[in-house]
Every structure is written in structure tokens, then in C-alpha cells.
Structure 1
């Protein structure tokens, strides 16, 4: 006797189908992000070999990450601290100067070195700086970044540390996350598991109904 296939109720099936389609779409999107990230890494590697440029004064996205740049800090308006490492690999507190570069315009962020003491107060007052472009501190959450498409602020990591500080470690290409393939596989697995669970649930439902129908 050939067992009949489980009947698919309309509304639950539509809901599950939409969920599975969304998971597959997210997997495909992650594969697209993987290709974009790989292209970005190639671009960053090329930036590391280019000559120094003037630090961009307007938000430009990630185009100039890992490139050498120069800037002039006319006046330090304030300081930020962020955990980090020096070029010896030692952990500490990065000292980030908020600099004025002209009469108007955005604040320039310059990482002038790492202190081991979190209470350290830098005495650096500004001047010409050369260093490597990287992202500045960003207080937005990952979810917030999805809905806020403004480019991240950029910062200059100084080649020479301010007095009393150790030079901050340069940005490393290996620190750029590229786990989109793993995320894509996860979404595809979630979609497959959801489909299998739904079919098994329907089969169990039909099996449970069978004795009642025969009574």
C-alpha cells in the first residue's frame, strides 16, 4: 500500500515558505557580500603600496583605508580613549586626539599612541602628523549600522607616538572580517532544516489523525 503524502495546510505552508525564502535570500546576500569583501581586501592591499595623500576632510567611506596620509592638527579640542595594542603587541589604552584643522570642517581624529595607564593624560598639543588611515571609534551597534548608512568616521594612526606613549599597532588586513561564506552556509542550512522539520511535522500530524479517521 502506497502511503499518501501529507496534506499541506494553506496558511502555515505560506508562512513557512516565506520564512525559508527569506533565509535563502539572506544566504545569497551573504555570498554577494563575500565577493564585495574580497574585492575590498584587494583594494586595501593596493592602498598600502600607494604614496601618502592628504587626509580626506569629508566622509568618503572605506576607499582610503590602510593608506598612508598626512594631516595638520592645529589644536587639540579633546581626547578619547579606546582599548588597543602597541607595535610590540602589548595591550593598553589608545589616546585619540580630537583635532581642529581649520576655521570650519569636521574634527580630525588622530591616534597618537598607546598608554598602559588608563589615567594617562597626553600633553601633545598638535602639529603635523603622518600615519595610516583606519576607522575611528564608532558607538553604533551592529543593528544600528544596518539602518544608519552614514560612512564610519576615519582616523589617522600616527607613525610616531606622542611623548610618554608607545606607537599604536598599524591596521592589519587580517583583522578585516570576511566570514560571509560561513554566514551564507548557515542560512542555507537553516532553510533546509526548517523545510525538513515542517514536512516531518506534517507527516506526524497525518499519522496522528489516521487512527481517528479509521475509528
Structure 2
């Protein structure tokens, strides 16, 4: 006599599969929203300048809009691989700026250097450019689940100081839209869970088929 299907494990697996499918559907919805935001960002560089956002996340409606900030002083530097306006590759020098006695400060992609250890001789001042976001180093799983911390706003400087090349202007082609891939992953995880549990049930009940 075959043993009955265990109720509690089946419920747990069923709930897990439903959650994974729901996350996949949610990522598909996010993809449509991202497509609309990128279409707007494509025309934003030519629109009038606005105030630089003080806090994350960056509203998609203002991504790549012209803006400016006043950097009171540089409190730190970051280095990232990047591309200059002339198409050459190099290293982005990102200044962490203080913009007041208190507050979150601001990030400024000042320009492109040829060496990763280059430190610009720049201590602050008024900077004009385009609104962007800091480089994304968040873990994949946190991004898939929507639990990652939002990216801080960053200004891409229009002009670079002496000794550096101007950074490439923002381009929607550089903004990843991975929501479809995330959705496929969640659906894949759901399918694998069903297959594994089905095989486990067959082994438990002695069903060789």
C-alpha cells in the first residue's frame, strides 16, 4: 500500500512555489516600468536644468536631467572603470562631497583618469552636469528580491579638471534593465522546486514512474 502524500511539506513547497512565481510576475511588471523610465531618460539631457536630488532613490523622471551642485569640500574618492566622452576607456574619479554642515552630501563623477591610483587635485566648487546614480555593487540576490538599498544620486560632471578627460554623457544604453532575466530566474527556481519535490514524493511512495 502506497503511503499518502505528506500534507505539511506539500503545503510548504506549494507556498514557496507561489511566492517565486509571484516574484517573477512582479519582475515582469518592473520591466515594463523600467522601459517607460528609460524612454523618458533618453530625452532628459536636453531638458532644462533642475535641482540636484539630495536623497536616494533617484526619481526615474529626472534621471539624466541637467543639474549642478556646490561641493564644499571633498571628503573621499572612489575609483571605477569608465568611459570618457571621446570613447576611450579609463578610470572614473568619483568625489564624495560635503554640501553642508550636515546631511548626506553628494557624489560627483569628476572625470576619467588614465591610471586607477590617480587622485585629482580638486578640492571642490560649483559643478554642472547630469543627474545619474552611483555605480551598482549590490548583491544579485538582494536586487532580485527587491530588498537592496537604493542607489545614491550622482552628478556626472560636464567638464573635467586639468589632467583628466571629461566623462561620457549619460546614455540609456548604459542603464541595465535586467528585470526579464530576474523573472526568468524566479520561474526557473519555481520549476526546479516542483521537479525536486515530485521526485522526492515518487521515491517516498515507491512510484518508479
TM-score, reference length from structure 2: 0.79
Asked if 2 retains the 8 angstrom alpha-carbon contact of 1:6 and 1:203, the reply is no
Kindly provide the CA deviation profile for residues 33-89 of structure 1, in whole angstroms up to 9, marking residues without a partner as x.
222222322332242331122323x21522222111122234334433222221233
Given the alignment of the two structures, is residue 27 of structure 1 paired with residue 24 of structure 2, yes or no?
Answer: yes
Q: Name the counterpart of 1:94.
A: 92
Q: Report the CA distance between 1:93 and its aligned residue.
A: 1.8
Q: Report the CA distance between 1:153 and its aligned residue.
A: 1.6
Segments of 4+ in structure 1 off by > 6 A? none
Q: Name the counterpart of 2:9.
A: 12
Q: CA–CA distance in 2 between the matches of 1:129 and 1:104? A: 20
Q: Report the CA distance between 1:26 and its aligned residue.
A: 1.8
Alignment of 1:1-215 (within 5 A): 7-56=4-53, 58-63=54-59, 64-137=62-135, 141-142=139-140, 146-147=146-147, 149=149, 151-207=150-206
Q: Report the CA distance between 1:143 and its aligned residue.
A: 5.3
Asked if 2 retains the 8 angstrom alpha-carbon contact of 1:73 and 1:126, the reply is yes
Q: CA–CA distance in 1 between the matches of 2:11 and 2:185? A: 22
TM-score, reference length from structure 1: 0.77
Kindly provide the CA deviation profile for residues 4-27 of structure 1, in whole angstroms up to 9, marking residues without a partner as x.
x98422233223212222221221
Q: Report the CA distance between 1:184 and its aligned residue.
A: 1.9
Q: Report the CA distance between 1:152 and its aligned residue.
A: 2.3
Q: CA–CA distance in 1 between the matches of 2:86 and 2:133? A: 21
Asked if 1 retains the 8 angstrom alpha-carbon contact of 2:55 and 2:104, the reply is no
Paired residue total: 204
Runs of 5+ unmatched residues, structure 2: none
Q: Name the counterpart of 1:213.
A: none
Q: Report the CA distance between 1:107 and its aligned residue.
A: 2.0
Change (3 A) 1:46 1:7: farther
